[in-house]
Amino acid sequence: MPIEQVLTDKRVPVKIWTDEVDENSKQQLANIASLPFIHHHVAAMPDVHLGIGAAIGSVIATHKAIIPAALGVDSHGNKIIRGLERDKNVFINRIT
């Protein structure tokens, strides 16, 4: 599946794998792409749509950072965050 759109007006590009993405989702993706700890690019999958904090269907690689809103606000995202809290010292030692 080819990349359909690339937004290049922020710190890193946003690569979008659909030509059907609404302007609110594009703005949310651009906001994420402007953060200083985003690594290489932000990817938006064909099912991308507006989310809370981060667009649903986005893939965000970070450098020495975690974005809780990108992990999800559902029960699975909360489990990941709780697991990170429990093991935060091990995790912090690995990324620093």
The model's pLDDT over 19-42, given as tens digits with 9 standing for 90+, comes to 999 999 999 999 999 999 999 999
Range of the domain at 83: 5-95
Look up residue 17 and give its DSSP letter.
Answer: S
Query: How many separate domains does the chain show?
Result: 1
Question: What are the two backbone dihedrals, phi and then psi, of residue 9, each rounded to the nearest 5 degrees?
Answer: -90, 10
Helix (H) or strand (E) holding 42: strand 38-49
Average confidence (pLDDT) over 38-61: 92
Look up residue 37 and give its DSSP letter.
Answer: T
Residue 29 · residue 14 · CB < 8 Å: yes
0.75 surpassed by pTM: no
